[in-house]
Amino acid sequence: MFEAARCRPSGAWTGYAALIAAAGCGDSDTTSRLAIDDGADGTVLYSEWHYESFEVDVDLELVTEERPDACTTTASLSVNDVVSATDRYLLEPTDCTVLRLTAEGDIVFFEQETGHDWSREALQVDTESEVISLGPVATPSPAERDGAVYRFALSAPPCPDQPDCACGKLERFGGGEPLALPLGRQCD
């Protein structure tokens, strides 16, 4: 099931962690947006987040293509730190049952909605813990949703079975058990 969601070996998201590890904290500027393109072949939903600081610039894009015969989501992550050129990581087409963007800006992970417009949230980069995140965000009242506090995190911790390698993952916290999408392994 996860094979289709893994990143290409030359561009696994797991490589970004080393790039932002050396950067310090500082003033940052963030922007985000959501765009929807309805065409004859279907609908393309596009959301992007941009984080800019003196030490590191990060761009994250999430695109869902809803076609009559298929629905897939792709993503790209660009990281540009002060000491190296921009590195770009791509998530290959992933079935919408695993990951999708909605017209309301919700990021639906394993078919579990949050009820929140994530396209309005600021991207956060924690260079100390090497995590890129959206949230935390409280959902509507318990009568409308579960009232959970949700957060998405993109990280590349050491692999449990091979500490010299990084095992990238996208996680969603809140609304019950944390959900994780493995993004591949990268070893030096």
Q: What is the pLDDT of residues 69-102, one digit of tens each?
A: 999 999 998 888 877 777 778 898 999 999 999 9
Q: What's 165's DSSP letter?
A: E
| 1/21 Cα distance (integer angstroms) | 31
Residue 50 has pLDDT above 60, yes or no: yes
pLDDT of residue 20: 34
| 14/71 Cα distance (integer angstroms) | 25
3-state helix, strand, coil in the chain (%, to 5): 10, 55, 35
Rg (CA), the chain: 16
pTM: 0.79
Going from the C-alpha of 39 to that of each of 70, 93, 112, the distances in angstroms are: 15, 20, 26
pLDDT of residue 21: 33
| 135: nearest Cα among 100, 105, 164, 110 | 105
What is the share, in percent, of the chain residues with pLDDT greater than 70?
81
- What average pLDDT score do residues 162-186 get? 88
pLDDT of residue 88: 79
Q: What is the pLDDT of residues 1-40, one digit of tens each?
A: 122 222 222 233 333 333 333 333 346 789 999 999 999 9
Residue 81 phi/psi, 5-degree rounding, is -100, 175
pLDDT of residue 28: 74
